[in-house]
A and B are shown apart, each in its own frame.
Chain A
């Protein structure tokens, strides 16, 4: 009463002003490292593992994965086109969850602004070029949680080693 409540609030503000460090960071210079499970842009896709089954396309609520395949000689499919439309993607991750062969992963990027709409439809060429260097997100793949990003080894190799180490956490036991 008699203004003591206001004074209490004012003292809290003064303490914060004098003692607390800013909680925010200055974005372009400093950036917060997203966690390993971050569900971000630029999907990581391994063509050698993809069988062209298009389960991801069926699982996508928006229907923005386009797969065109041709039949091969020995009961197999070759993926001719694999287009992901980032413009309509809402990064729900259902495609990653659906993929039975661990060929598709979410990526770590969150800065995917672009000047042209066409460049946001990511195709096979782009995905293939990015696959060896991009670190796949461990979303829906907890076995990748502990992956050592800084070691400099090619990512597929690490991934393979990790998966062999955790055989029973992979697809087989899901």
Chain B
């Protein structure tokens, strides 16, 4: 005997504990199995691109802090990179090293947060979340010591960084580098071999290599599906060609692989940080530019490997002191494009962790 069942539409969000912000998924479910899903976004739209058209290139930098608020340093780097490419602004070597250190610390912080959220989405009682947040706090302390704030850093400037590192920064960084591997081991103890986590995440939210490429996914989403593509290696910017590091890739493209790629990326970030700590030279940190400088008319696309994927700033200038048009290629936004394909056919519980593994930040999705 088969019972007739009716599909039920569930409004997942916008104020749901595990949608990672004000994000809505309209789920049509047959029992527990999702038959359709429609992402609804835009609740956090602040018109960043429009605002930037009325601000100078320096004033755009604080706007980028508010995009992906879990990794503001990376946003700053991408923004100033586009401006530097457009205006051929040289960057002193020490500033490049500082940028690499900050961007990699930011990647650590972001992946810490994401790993914690993953287990929260799975339903642990915030335990790993607090451990990861503890390490994230230590990294934010380093940021605060350098540039005065923890999250809205605005540290990068076209032509370098705002100001030099304080004296006590490098010793503190050393202490963090010594401690962090053990903390990552702790995270792995709670996740990597936990049978329940494995049962929940393996084979869930599977994305094929072909879909990942055609949909323009980037970052751990792309690498989790087995594509070896990392902007740091494949489109080297800053001084990343000086560092030895590997690109971890997954095999199956499921939630577990994406998590695993992130954990491995944390270890690789530590490797980069060790080398940067070893090699950082003395010297100037900022090319002198006037307060309101002009860039030649033209277009430039600066992209970096942000923690969430390829973060690009497309700048069009008409020769004025403000960008004529600035477009943000937000990795979270484009990665969300495949959410429907990753969740249809799985259960409601799987949709939550799949969304978590996409690692979105609504500040960046809605911009």
Residues of chain A having any CB pair with chain B under 8 Å: 1-6, 8-9, 12-13, 16, 23, 34-40, 55, 58-59, 61, 90-94, 97-98, 106, 137, 139-140, 142, 145, 174
Contact = CB atoms under 8 A, between A and B. Distances in A.
A94 B62 contact: yes
A37 B146 contact: yes
Contacts of B198: 5
B182 to A, nearest CB: 11
B190 A12 contact: yes
Given A37-B145, A39-B149, A174-B288, A5 B134 contact: no
Contacts of B196: 6
B149 A35 contact: no
A39 B152 CA distance: 10
Contact of A61 (B59, B195, B291): B59
A90 B152 CA distance: 9
B278 to A, nearest CB: 24
A101 B236 CA distance: 40
Closest 3 CB pairs of A and B: A39-B148, A5-B193, A92-B62
A37 B166 contact: yes
A7 to B, nearest CB: 10
A8 B191 CA distance: 10
A174 B291 CA distance: 12
Given A90-B152, A174-B288, A6 B166 contact: no
Nearest to A106: B148
A25 B114 CA distance: 24
Nearest to B138: A23
Interface residues of B, number: 36
Contacts of A1: 195
B194 A9 contact: yes
B147 interface: yes
Given A37-B166, A38-B144, 4 more contacts: A5-B195, A38-B149, A39-B148, A142-B166
B37 interface: no
B55 interface: yes
Contacts of A37: 144-148, 163, 166
B214 interface: no
A146 to B, nearest CB: 8
B127 A61 contact: no
A59 B291 contact: yes
A36 B58 CA distance: 24
Contacts of B127: 13
- Which residue, A23, A39, A55, A92, has most C-beta atoms of chain B within 10 A? A92
A9 B189 contact: yes
28 contacts: A3-B195, A5-B192, A5-B194, A5-B195, A6-B194, A8-B189, A9-B190, A16-B131, A23-B137, A35-B141, A35-B166, A37-B146, A37-B148, A38-B148, A58-B291, A61-B55, A61-B62, A90-B152, A92-B152, A92-B154, A93-B154, A98-B291, A139-B163, A140-B162, A142-B164, A142-B166, A145-B167, A174-B288
Contacts of B63: 61
B189 A12 contact: yes
B186 interface: yes
A90 B153 CA distance: 11
